[in-house]
Amino acid sequence: MFISCTTFVLYYITNTPTTNIKNMIKLSNLSFGYSKNALLFKNLNLELQVGHIYGLLGKNGAGKSTLLKNIAGLVFPLDGACQVNGHDAAARLPSFLQELFFIPEEVYLPALNARGFVGSSGQFYPSFDHAGFYNMLEEFEVPADKMLNKLSFGQQKKVMIAFGLATNTGTLIMDEPTNGLDIPSKVQFRKIIAAALTDNRCIIISTHQVRDLDSLIDSLVVVHNQEIVLNKSLEEISEKIQFSTAVQAKKADILYQEDGDFGINTISINRAENYSKVDMELLFNAITNKSQAVTSYLN
């Protein structure tokens, strides 16, 4: 009897017992480049835990998308390893694939409506939430009966975000998910993502639009000069540094400053341990403008 490759993979996924390994992403001495003479990363180390929404920041060309593709097993390291939930990402075993969903920056959807798309692809994810998917489409105001390839780019992005969340995978990776979304849709996106986080899920969002992650993420990862220069929770960051104007900050404690719309904005040592909201845009500017004082103090 002939068994198609798709049928075999589906059978393997649905009949392979899942492990009880605590979901965690771990990069160990990972080196990657599209050629050995042009490494994008060298001996990169990174650990990400479940129960967090990570914001991945970096300048254009810093390697954010490539880093995400290594985690998703879409490209393979030249040296070192990337493990997700105890699995070697590069091996792309079915037990790994059923617990990870990756939403790329550019999406290309088939000539199917939402129901047909779920029927062909949702079955590969054992915990797929059909009702949740259609509810999110309705909240995003995306018609479920239209051909997906005929939708606007923004609507296609919304379909993939809704599908990714509905998979209920332990790891959800999104590369520039807010590109193509209007302002109301970005507000909806933040609400939906925040509600999707559980203690058993790790969500990673890469963006160059820092403000889109405001009030959404709880941890920040920054890639700069081929290195992970920061991997801290916002709580850890706010305990060590504070964000204010030059008038409010003590001059001796200022680690970084730049001109703002209403004066000079500063990052300074939080000696009094007073809470201040993390200004991610200012912090990112400090890191990428070669301010060693900020990164050294935080690390």
Q: What is the pLDDT of residues 229-250, one digit of tens each?
A: 999 999 999 999 999 888 788 8
Span 128-187, pLDDT tens digits: 999 999 999 999 999 999 999 999 999 999 999 999 999 999 999 999 999 989 999 999
The Cα 132–Cα 6 span in angstroms is 25
pLDDT band at 275 (very low <50, low <70, confident <90, very high): confident
The Cα 248–Cα 153 span in angstroms is 44
**CATH superfamily name and code, 24-224:** P-loop containing nucleotide triphosphate hydrolases (3.40.50.300)
Instruction: Report H helices in 223-266.
Output: 234-240
pLDDT band at 291 (very low <50, low <70, confident <90, very high): low
Helix (H), strand (E) counts: the chain: 10, 13
What SS3 state is found at 46? strand
Q: For the whole prediction, is pTM greater than 0.85?
A: yes
pLDDT > 70 fraction of the chain, expressed in percent and rounded: 92
Contact, 186 vs 178, CB < 8 A? yes
pLDDT band at 34 (very low <50, low <70, confident <90, very high): confident
- Name the amino acid, one letter, at 279: D
* Amino acid 281: pLDDT: 92
Q: Domain residues of the chain, as ranges?
A: 24-224, 232-298
